Amino acid sequence: MEESQNKDKAEPSRPEDKATRSAPRRASPQQSMAIRTQSPLSYEFFLHSTLLLFGRLMNKILEFYNGLFSLKRKDSRLIYENLGRSFRKKGLHDKALSAYRELIKLSPKNADAYFQMGRVYAIKGELELAIQAVKTTIELQPDHAEAHYRLGWLYTKTKDLQGAKKSLKKAVDLRPDRHQWIYRLGVLYDKTGSPEEARDRIQKAIELQQSEPKYHQYLGFVYEGLGRHDDAVRHFKAVVQMEGAQEEIF
């Protein structure tokens, strides 16, 4: 009897047991995914999210595309400079000229652009156009030593030896360290009837570059013309010694 009464007496429930029973069970990640997948709006959600991402991508592409047409002038100049150089090296001379013309439109006082045009015209054999372009370089930048030298070379090709001598002299005055230019000026002095000037120039070239055989050889001929045979022989011997040394190297 006591046992039945004890059974009938229910133990009082603990507060934490009630809380545990009343709290909803948390879904696992797999269950949550299943719930989302089963949503009637899942397809529309996927579609709209895809459209949103695609729209953002298109905006980025359009920004890049528009940026191509809003380059800074400095960037555009650099691009045309590189194009002109690249086309010239590849032998695409007309395209190189077109690139330099576009560069000049952006930068009308760009001396080097005219200089590069002159180089391309010279390669094409259009010497008069080359001379005009290089002259413009000098007008824009009077101390452009390379332009003066190039103009002298062009005058030599057109048989204007006096003009060539004047341009080469200016180039050498600007760059007295360029022994090749000094030698060419010496040759021009010799061809225009000034052997003493030729001698002095070629001697200067030899001082800057003693191991160049053709300098000694030409100076030997100049000395021979001046009647100074001993000096001529000395330089001819120098040529033989240099050529012998080169043969030993090989």
Q: 10 Å Cβ neighbour count for 35?
A: 10
- Nearest CA among 213, 153, 147, 203 for reference residue 179: 203
Q: What is the CATH number of the domain that holds 122?
A: 1.25.40.10
Query: Does residue 189 share a domain with residue 164?
Result: no
Q: Which amino acid is at 152?
A: G
Query: Does residue 182 share a domain with residue 136?
Result: no
Give dist(CA 234, CA 212) in Å, integer: 15
The pTM (predicted TM-score) of the whole model is 0.69
Query: Does residue 224 share a domain with residue 142?
Result: no
Domain that holds residue 192: 176-250
Query: Does residue 224 share a domain with residue 151?
Result: no
Count of domains observed in the chain: 2
Q: Is residue 10 part of a domain?
A: no
Using alpha carbons, list the distances in angstroms from residue 233 to 127, 201, 222, 238.
39, 19, 11, 9
**Residue pLDDT tens, the chain, 250 long:** 444 444 444 455 554 444 445 545 555 555 554 444 445 556 665 666 777 777 777 777 766 655 655 567 777 888 889 999 999 999 999 999 999 999 999 999 999 999 999 999 999 999 999 999 999 999 999 999 999 999 999 999 999 999 999 999 999 999 999 999 999 999 999 999 999 999 999 999 999 999 999 999 999 999 999 999 999 999 999 999 887 655 544 4
Query: Does residue 167 share a domain with residue 225?
Result: no
Query: Does residue 180 share a domain with residue 165?
Result: no
Q: What single string gives the DSSP state of each residue in 159-208?
A: T-HHHHHHHHHHHHHH-TT-HHHHHHHHHHHHHTT-HHHHHHHHHHHHHH
Give dist(CA 66, CA 55) in Å, integer: 16
Token pair belonging to 146: 């390379």
Q: Is residue 84 part of a domain?
A: yes
Q: Report, in this order, helix, strand and coil percent for the chain, each rounded to 5.
A: 80, 0, 20
Query: Does residue 148 share a domain with residue 134?
Result: yes
H or E element at residue 74: helix 73-89
Token pair belonging to 40: 């009637």
The DSSP 8-state label assigned to residue 23 in this structure reads S
> Which of these three, 121, 141, 174, is where a domain ends?
174
Task: Write down the pLDDT at residue 2.
Answer: 46
Q: How far is CA 116 from the centre of its chain?
A: 13
- Phi then psi for residue 155, to 5 deg, are -65, -35
